[in-house]
């Protein structure tokens, strides 16, 4: 029989007050993790619903303000360049919004709290709203705010791709300095070997290294020659 006090399976305390006395033990063991998973899923769904409401109100409010002010009240200042930039940036924001909605339907967190690609798309949408608000009020100078997006993308590419895989964890200046120094040492060794070959003398790897050091003025090579 199953006791009504409390049973501990696999370091998980489970209350049996709501379970039938004939419930198998393996079902009681799984009830704790399943309850936690359902709680996390409900929390994610609630956060996603709030985020979707923010996206909906944000898109409607910012675009209504921009169109009313720039395309209606200040249409005499409207240019084709401004209209093209507005359409292009709004299309990118709407594309990211559709991707986030698809992710939310799949049960993923779209609040951007976990960072990653989801956080980047959320940030792009927020920066787009802020840029459209400024450009509607200030004009073309507000478009400079949108430059934050490609600058941040370049920074992420440098941190995630260039620095670990291209520069091998070194700074770009140190990597270029090592590249130039290695090429200069290789050139010096090649010149010494070519000179020895021109004189008809056999050249070993050690002799080539000593000749390269002598060309650089290494005092250790000069002492050996004495």
pLDDT score of 205: 72
pLDDT in tens, the chain (226 residues): 444 444 444 444 444 445 555 555 544 545 456 766 677 788 899 999 999 999 999 999 999 999 999 999 988 888 999 999 999 999 999 999 999 999 999 889 999 888 889 999 999 999 999 999 999 988 888 999 999 999 998 988 888 888 888 877 777 667 666 666 665 555 555 555 555 555 555 556 777 777 777 777 666 655 444 4
What's the pLDDT score for residue 113? 83
**Sign of the Cα pseudo-torsion (46, 49, 54, 55, in order):** positive
pLDDT at 15: 47
| Per-residue pLDDT tens digits for 164-175 | 888 777 776 676
- Whole-angstrom distance, CA of residue 23 vs CA of residue 28: 7
Q: What is the C-alpha radius of gyration for the chain, rounded to an integer number of angstroms?
A: 34
- Total Cβ atoms within 10 A of residue 136: 22
pLDDT at site 190: 53
Q: Is the pTM of this model over 0.85?
A: no
- 122, with CB counted inside 10 A (0-12, 13-18, 19+), is buried
Rounded CA gap, 213 and 134, in Å?
A: 63
**C-alpha closest to that of 120 among 157, 86, 88:** 157
The secondary structure of residue 215, as a DSSP letter, is H
CA dist., res. 41 & res. 34, Å (int): 10
């Amino acid at each position: 029989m199953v006791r009504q006090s409390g049973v501990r399976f696999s370091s998980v305390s489970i209350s049996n007050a709501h379970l039938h006395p004939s419930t198998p033990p393996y079902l009681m063991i799984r009830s704790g993790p399943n309850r936690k998973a359902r709680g996390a899923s409900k929390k994610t769904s609630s956060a996603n619903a709030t985020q979707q409401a923010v996206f909906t109100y944000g898109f409607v409010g910012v675009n209504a303000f921009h169109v009313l002010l720039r395309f209606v009240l200040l249409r005499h200042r409207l240019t084709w360049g401004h209209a093209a930039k507005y359409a292009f940036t709004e299309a990118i924001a709407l594309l990211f919004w559709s991707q986030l909605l698809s992710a939310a339907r799949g049960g993923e967190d779209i609040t951007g709290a976990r960072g990653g690609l989801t956080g980047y798309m959320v940030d792009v949408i927020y920066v787009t709203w802020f840029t459209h608000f400024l450009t509607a009020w200030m004009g073309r100078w507000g478009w400079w705010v949108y430059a934050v997006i490609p600058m941040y993308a370049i920074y992420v590419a440098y941190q995630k791709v260039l620095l670990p895989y291209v520069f091998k964890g070194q700074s770009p200046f140190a990597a270029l300095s090592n590249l130039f120094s290695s090429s200069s040492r290789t050139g010096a060794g090649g010149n010494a070997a070519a000179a020895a070959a021109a004189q008809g003398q056999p050249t070993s790897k050690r002799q080539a290294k000593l000749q390269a050091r002598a060309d650089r003025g290494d005092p250790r090579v000069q002492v050996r020659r004495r």
